[in-house]
């Protein structure tokens, strides 16, 4: 099976698998990450077959929706690609990117080991910031039943992935605990350029939101 056919079949598979997924991690999120990964990957001269497959499959079984099981996403991706007859080295590369991709807390390192991993991580992080990042943050917060904001729950820069997953938070706190940190964690030059404008928009949004709510959002010390 040629590479283009593998990608096309993977698109169909991901669309079908995520058709009932909530709005912040649905097919349209995958599609945006895929498009940005292609743009960044071409600029970085990455292996585009690996980049496209990792972008398409990066949330195929996100731990947030599968009981916190961090191994499920890489495993499902590995099984799917093996079924398609993809070379073992590519399967391993893609599944490793998926395993290492996600943000795990302000004080936890999530270093990608390959250029392709850096590209996909940047593409995923771009979709977490800017206007779409704002929309996704509140969509997911609503799905989780979180408050929009609560002065009694200060934001925290978590020291571990376990702490990050388990801590009580709000949608606004998520900006200070993760989203506003992403600009400085981009891996690629193309990613950094794209992130700067989106970051500035989030800062403007939070200033306006504070003014309309008549509150001051607490910022944790880095």
* Nearest in space to 10 (alpha carbons), one of 63, 65, 85, 121: 85
pLDDT number for residue 68: 55
For residues 115 and 68, the model is more confident at 115
Tokens of 160: 């571990």
Least confident of 44-48, 143-147, 212-216, 218-222: 218-222
Per-residue pLDDT of 127-160, as tens digits, reads 999 999 999 999 999 998 999 999 888 888 766 6
Q: Give yes or no for residue 70 having a pLDDT over 80.
A: no
Q: Give yes or no for residue 67 having a pLDDT over 70.
A: no
Domains annotated for the chain, with CATH where assigned, are 3-213 (1.10.3210.50)
Q: Give yes or no for residue 75 having a pLDDT over 80.
A: yes
Output the DSSP codes for the chain: --HHHHHHHHHHHHHHHTTT--GGGSHHHHHHHHHHHHHHHHHTT--HHHHHHHHHHTTTT-GGGTTT-TTHHHHHHHHHHHHTT--HHHHHHHHHHHHH-S---TTS----SSHHHHHHHHHHHHTTSHHHHHHHHHHHHHHHT--S--TTS-----SSHHHHHHS---HHHHHHHTGGGGGGG--SHHHHHHHHHHHHHHHHHHHHHHHHHT--------
Q: Give yes or no for residue 42 having a pLDDT over 90.
A: yes
Average pLDDT, the chain: 90
Q: Give residue 17's Cα distance to chain centre.
A: 18
Q: Give yes or no for residue 36 having a pLDDT over 70.
A: yes
Q: Best-predicted range by mean pLDDT among 95-104, 132-141, 167-176?
A: 132-141
């Amino acid at each position: 099976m040629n590479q283009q056919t593998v990608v096309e079949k993977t698109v169909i598979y991901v669309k079908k698998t995520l058709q009932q997924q909530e709005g912040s991690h649905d097919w349209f999120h995958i599609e945006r990450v895929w498009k940005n990964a292609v743009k960044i990957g071409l600029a970085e001269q990455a292996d585009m077959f690996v980049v496209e497959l990792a972008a398409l499959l990066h949330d195929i079984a996100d731990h947030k929706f599968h009981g916190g099981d961090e191994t499920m996403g890489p495993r499902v991706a590995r099984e799917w690609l093996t079924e398609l007859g993809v070379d073992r080295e590519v399967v391993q590369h893609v599944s490793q990117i998926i395993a290492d991709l996600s943000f795990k807390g302000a004080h936890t390192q999530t270093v990608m080991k390959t250029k392709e991993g850096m590209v996909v991580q940047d593409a995923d992080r771009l979709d977490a910031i800017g206007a779409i990042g704002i929309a996704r943050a509140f969509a997911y917060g609503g799905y989780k039943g979180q408050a929009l904001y609560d002065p009694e729950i200060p934001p925290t820069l978590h020291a571990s992935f376990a702490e990050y997953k388990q801590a009580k938070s709000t949608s606004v706190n998520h900006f200070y605990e993760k989203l506003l940190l992403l600009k400085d964690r981009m891996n690629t030059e193309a990613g950094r350029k794209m992130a700067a404008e989106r970051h500035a928009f989030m800062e403007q949004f939070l200033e306006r939101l504070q003014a309309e709510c008549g509150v001051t959002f607490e910022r944790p010390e880095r």
